[in-house]
């Protein structure tokens, strides 16, 4: 190093390097390295928990550019943890720099009382055709709308058509039961010499949503109240059998599109946005179908995201404008085409969807409109306890499927933890549990 | 300075015992009842017990090689010190490209006609542990190496030469002259390395996700993922207590008997 310092050429090179670093700093910040939410004067800082993978983010930024008009928007997608700390610290310091926020229903719940009342905006948008469920959710448990619905999504099955040959005889792939699904996984495993079904059970995978919104409602008709009853024991015993026929590498899968894309897995359940890359290039090789049905119906989870404005937002008016723009049917359809999240407003999706998205749209519609459909929501009103509640469902999977623990004992133990959390929260139940106050584990 | 170090520690301890209704041990109960806790403790201890001896043997061998001044000794030094500059997470990600199902190692095996192995699958504990061990040895041995090299440099050559004159072979010189003189450096390296080993997690996180939990990884998960700073502090307190006990243990164990009061 001392040799370098005495060398003129190297010193010049060092200087040049320093200047380069100074010059690239702002560029890096503009690329989103900055998570504080600042995007320059006059632009709306849009802090969001959605579309964080680079590709999704770029696509959504293009959508924003197309519909934001004169308003410049700095889109900052971050992890839920960062989202919470950023917003919490800015709100409690009384120095809000975030112009508007976007997140899933559960992400916004902890901030309900600190978000602007959006009644006027909701009135302006009354013709958009939000469903009553969505309007109620948007109040976040208060009397007035705190967010405007933004995106919705759900989870479906993606099937490589190769796997159809092992479908049990008499089974309709669009109306599977959980028993048929298991039989299919067994047959496919036997034929391939290895399991070819998968679930996203990696550290960032959303497999807990499978138990919360699909498996348990289908077997028990509930999510929280029925957590440890006899039906839940049946459901988790089923899950153990299914896991025995599921690719064990699933515990490393965060997004199912990767193992589906490279052929490690032929049939997978996941979030529509996490399946799209696998199916979009060769839609003819794929089929997407609703999740299976159980004894209590076809449990399915609806994910709702909303746009909100934190109180004290420096760009409140522009944020309102932006929310109006993003609520237009065209913007909503663009989001579906680019990011595979479905519109929340009444709109005709039309027939010009890209192949993969068209497959998804068909499956989503079939799932929602199934005669035995049983709507479930991700936990509502749990605030910062939300991740812990989801973790309890993951713990059940860990114990029952991976550690081979006793089903009843595991449910009792995890159920006791859940009961403790629900007792301290004292919140009403959400679908599919009966809307009772307070929500308790039976 | 005391405030700078003391305040976070005190607030951490208070947080570990904090609850909605004053002081409580509920956070510790919650911690020990978590299905990942005991496996994370077991994994961390196993990793330390296996890894530290390997690292010390390797680092000593490398340092002695450097001391023998082979051609290009300084080049070796710099190359062996490179992992010091690599962040743990980056190192983990690099090794992930080696061990993942379609990584370099399996590609190599496939080209040799051998069936690929799921090295990082949850039901393949031995290979998962092996992968974390290799990555962590690769990443962290250089720290011990640098300390040992510095220690070796402070030992005058005269002692060894004198031993040589009295007919001691190279093994005896190493065992009876060099190693005892190296004791302070080894002690420092051992304490530092063990404490840092308790803090290992990014490598394991990148390689195995939740399949091979380690205590500090659990702290991170409780803090960011599960949003419970109290249980996270309880876990951090465990790491701190174990680190302190280990450091004191090493200091006692490796105390130079010749300096003890007679």
Question: How many Cβ atoms sit within 10 Å of the Cβ of residue A94?
Answer: 8
Look at residue B7 and give its three-state secondary structure: helix
Q: What is the pLDDT of residues A287-314, one digit of tens each?
A: 999 999 999 999 999 888 999 999 999 9
Please tell me the distance in Å from A17's CA to the nearest CA on chain B.
19
8 Å CB contact of B120 and A252:
yes
Burial (0-12, 13-18, 19+ Cβ within 10 Å), A213: buried
State whether the Cα torsion A345-A346-A348-A354 is positive or negative.
positive
What's the rounded Cα separation, in Å, for the pair B17 and B135?
A: 35
Please tell me the distance in Å from B206's CA to the nearest CA on chain A.
10
Res. B191: pLDDT tops 50? yes
Q: Is A154 near chain B, with CB under 8 Å?
A: no
The confidence band for A24, taking pLDDT boundaries of 50, 70 and 90, is: very low
8 Å CB contact of B211 and A384:
no
Report the residue from A248, A387, A402 with minimal CB separation from B226: A387
Q: What is the pLDDT of residues A148-189, one digit of tens each?
A: 999 988 999 999 999 999 999 999 999 999 999 999 999 999
Q: What is the pLDDT of residue A8?
A: 43
User: What number is the average pLDDT over the span A193-204?
Assistant: 92
Q: Is A406 near chain B, with CB under 8 Å?
A: no
- Beta bridge partners of residue A56, listed in sequence order: none
Res. A41: pLDDT tops 70? no
Q: Which residue in A has a C-alpha nearest to residue B225's C-alpha?
A: A387
What value does the mean pLDDT of chain B take? 88
Res. B154: pLDDT tops 90? no
Q: In this structure, are residues A409 and A352 in contact, taking their beta carbons and an 8 Å threshold?
A: no
Res. A412: pLDDT tops 90? yes
Within 8 A of B102 by CB-CB distance, chain A residues are 262
The confidence band for A332, taking pLDDT boundaries of 50, 70 and 90, is: very high
- Reported as type and span, the H/E element at residue A415 is helix A407-425
Q: Is A50 near chain B, with CB under 8 Å?
A: no
Q: Is A85 near chain B, with CB under 8 Å?
A: no
Q: What is the pLDDT of residue A326?
A: 93
Q: What is the pLDDT of residue A67?
A: 92
What's the rounded Cα separation, in Å, for the pair A301 and A380?
A: 13
Q: Is A258 near chain B, with CB under 8 Å?
A: no
Q: In this structure, are residues A341 and A305 in contact, taking their beta carbons and an 8 Å threshold?
A: yes
Optimal mutation site among A250, A261, A391, A402, interface B, most CBs of chain B within 10 A: A391
Optimal mutation site among B131, B209, B217, B223, interface A, most CBs of chain A within 10 A: B209
Prediction ipTM score: 0.74
Optimal mutation site among A194, A203, A414, interface B, most CBs of chain B within 10 A: A203
Report the residue from B35, B100, B121 with minimal CB separation from A398: B35
Q: Which residue in B has a C-alpha nearest to residue A392's C-alpha?
A: B34
8 Å CB contact of B227 and A248:
no
Within 8 A of A398 by CB-CB distance, chain B residues are 35-36
* Count, residues in chain B: 262
Res. A104: pLDDT tops 70? yes
Q: In this structure, are residues A217 and A411 in contact, taking their beta carbons and an 8 Å threshold?
A: no
Q: What is the pLDDT of residue A203?
A: 83
The confidence band for A40, taking pLDDT boundaries of 50, 70 and 90, is: low
The CA-CA-CA angle for residues B176, B180, B183, to 5°, reads 160
8 Å CB contact of A387 and B101:
no
Report the residue from B101, B120, B122 with minimal CB separation from A402: B122
Q: Is the pTM of this model over 0.80?
A: no
Q: In this structure, are residues A228 and A203 in contact, taking their beta carbons and an 8 Å threshold?
A: no
- Beta bridge partners of residue A294, listed in sequence order: A297
Q: What is the pLDDT of residues A50-63, one digit of tens each?
A: 998 898 899 999 99
Within 8 A of A84 by CB-CB distance, chain B residues are 227
**Residues in chain B whose Cβ is within 8 Å of chain A:** 20, 30, 33-36, 100-102, 118, 120-123, 205, 208-211, 224-228
Q: Which residue in A has a C-alpha nearest to residue B39's C-alpha?
A: A403
Percent of all residues in chain B with a pLDDT value above 90, rounded to a whole number: 40
Q: In this structure, are residues A122 and A148 in contact, taking their beta carbons and an 8 Å threshold?
A: yes
Q: What is the pLDDT of residue B126?
A: 93
Nearest to A295 by CA among A240, A365, A230: A230
Report the residue from A249, A399, A417 with minimal CB separation from B118: A249
The confidence band for A100, taking pLDDT boundaries of 50, 70 and 90, is: very high
* Count, residues in chain A: 442
Res. A405: pLDDT tops 70? yes
Res. A21: pLDDT tops 90? no
Backbone angles phi, psi at B228, to 5 degrees: -125, 90
The tokens describing B137, both together, are 């040895």
Give me the numbers of helices (H) and strands (E) for chain B, helices first please: 14, 2
Q: Which residues contact A403 (CB under 8 A, 6 or more apart)?
A: B35
Q: Which residue in B has a C-alpha nearest to residue A404's C-alpha?
A: B123
Q: What is the pLDDT of residue A12?
A: 53
The confidence band for B259, taking pLDDT boundaries of 50, 70 and 90, is: low
Within 8 A of A202 by CB-CB distance, chain B residues are 209-210
Q: What is the pLDDT of residue A32?
A: 37
Q: Which residues contact B233 (CB under 8 A, 6 or more apart)?
A: B12, B13, B15, B16, B18, B27
Nearest to A72 by CA among A329, A336, A328, A319: A319
Task: Give the least confident one: A24-38, A199-213, B228-242.
Answer: A24-38
**In the block, residue with structure tokens 């120095």:** A95
What value does the mean pLDDT of chain A take? 86
8 Å CB contact of A398 and B228:
no
Q: What is the pLDDT of residues A380-402, one digit of tens each?
A: 777 778 888 999 999 999 999 99
Optimal mutation site among A195, A251, A259, A417, interface B, most CBs of chain B within 10 A: A251
What's the rounded Cα separation, in Å, for the pair A179 and A407?
A: 19
Higher pLDDT, B1 or A183: A183
User: What number is the average pLDDT over the span B114-119?
Assistant: 86
Report the residue from B101, B209, B227 with minimal CB separation from A202: B209
Q: Which residues contact A18 (CB under 8 A, 6 or more apart)?
A: none
Q: Is A313 near chain B, with CB under 8 Å?
A: no
**In the block, residue with structure tokens 């004894």:** A295
Q: What is the pLDDT of residue A215?
A: 96
Nearest to B145 by CA among B183, B177, B179, B185: B185
Q: In this structure, are residues A397 and A211 in contact, taking their beta carbons and an 8 Å threshold?
A: yes
Looking at chain A from residue 176 to 235, which residues have their Cβ under 8 Å from any Cβ of chain B? 202-203
Percent of all residues in chain A with a pLDDT value above 90, rounded to a whole number: 54
Q: Is A97 near chain B, with CB under 8 Å?
A: no
């Amino acid at each position: 190093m001392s040799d370098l310092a005495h060398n003129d050429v190297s010193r010049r090179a060092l200087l040049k390097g320093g200047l380069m670093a100074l010059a690239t700093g702002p560029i890096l910040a503009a690329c989103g390295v900055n998570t504080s939410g600042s995007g320059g004067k006059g632009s709306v800082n849009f802090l969001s928990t959605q579309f964080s993978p680079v590709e999704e983010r770029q696509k959504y930024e293009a959508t924003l550019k197309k519909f934001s008009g004169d308003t410049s928007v700095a889109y900052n997608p971050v992890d839920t943890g960062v989202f919470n700390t950023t917003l919490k610290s800015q709100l409690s310091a009384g120095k809000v720099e975030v112009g508007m926020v976007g997140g899933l229903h559960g992400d916004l719940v902890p901030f309900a009382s600190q978000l602007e009342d959006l009644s006027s905006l909701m009135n302006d948008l009354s013709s958009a055709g939000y469903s009553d469920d969505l309007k109620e959710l948007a109040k976040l448990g208060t009397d007035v709308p705190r967010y405007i619905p933004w995106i919705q999504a759900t989870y479906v099955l993606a099937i490589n058509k190769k796997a159809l040959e092992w479908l049990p005889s008499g089974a309709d792939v669009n109306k599977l039961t959980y028993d048929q699904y298991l039989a299919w996984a067994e047959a496919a495993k036997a034929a391939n010499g290895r399991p070819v079904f998968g679930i996203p059970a990696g550290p960032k995978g959303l497999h807990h949503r499978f138990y919360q919104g699909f498996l348990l409602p289908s077997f028990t008709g509930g999510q929280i109240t029925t957590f440890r009853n006899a039906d839940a024991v049946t459901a988790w015993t089923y899950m153990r059998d299914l896991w025995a026929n599921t690719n064990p590498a699933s515990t490393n899968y965060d997004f199912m599109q990767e193992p589906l894309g490279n052929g490690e897995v032929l049939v997978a359940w996941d979030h529509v946005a996490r399946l799209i890359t696998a199916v979009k290039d060769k839609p003819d090789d794929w089929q997407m179908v609703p999740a299976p049905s159980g004894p209590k119906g076809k449990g399915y989870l609806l994910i709702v995201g909303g746009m909100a404005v934190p109180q004290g937002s420096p760009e409140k008016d522009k944020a309102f404008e932006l929310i109006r723009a993003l609520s237009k049917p065209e913007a909503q359809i663009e989001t579906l085409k680019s990011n595979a999240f479905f519109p929340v407003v009444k709109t005709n999706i039309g027939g010009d969807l890209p192949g993969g998205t068209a497959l998804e749209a068909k499956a989503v519609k079939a799932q929602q409109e199934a005669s035995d459909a049983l709507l479930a929501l991700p936990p509502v009103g749990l605030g910062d306890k939300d991740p812990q509640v989801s973790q309890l469902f993951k713990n059940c999977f860990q114990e029952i499927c991976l550690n081979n623990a006793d089903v009843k004992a595991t449910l009792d133990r995890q159920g006791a933890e859940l009961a403790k959390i629900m007792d301290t929260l004292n919140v009403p139940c959400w679908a599919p549990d009966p809307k009772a106050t307070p929500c308790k584990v039976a | 300075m005391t405030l700078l170090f003391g305040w976070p520690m005190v607030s951490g301890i208070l947080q570990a015992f904090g609850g909605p209704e004053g002081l409580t041990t509920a956070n510790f109960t919650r911690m020990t009842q978590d299905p990942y806790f005991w496996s994370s403790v077991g994994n961390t201890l196993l990793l330390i017990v296996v890894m530290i001896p390997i690292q010390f043997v390797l680092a000593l061998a490398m340092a002695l090689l450097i001391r023998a001044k082979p051609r290009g000794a300084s080049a070796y030094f710099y190359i062996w010190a490179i992992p010091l500059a690599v962040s743990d997470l980056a190192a983990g990600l690099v090794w992930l490209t080696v061990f993942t199902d379609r990584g370099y190692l399996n590609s190599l095996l496939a080209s040799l006609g051998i069936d690929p192995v799921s090295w990082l699958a949850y039901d393949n504990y031995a290979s998962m542990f092996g992968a974390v061990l290799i990555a962590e040895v690769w990443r962290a041995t250089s720290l011990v190496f640098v300390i040992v090299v510095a220690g070796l440099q402070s030992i005058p050559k005269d002692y060894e030469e004198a031993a040589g004159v009295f007919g001691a072979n190279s093994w005896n010189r190493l065992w009876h002259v060099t190693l005892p003189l190296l004791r302070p450096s080894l002690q420092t390296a051992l304490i530092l390395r063990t404490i840092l080993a308790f803090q290992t997690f990014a490598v394991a996180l990148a390689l195995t996700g939740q399949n091979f939990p380690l205590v500090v990884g659990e702290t991170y998960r409780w803090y960011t993922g599960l949003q419970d700073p109290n249980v996270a502090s309880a876990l951090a307190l465990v790491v701190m207590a174990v680190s302190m006990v280990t450091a004191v243990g090493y200091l006692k164990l490796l105390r130079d008997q010749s300096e003890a009061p007679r």
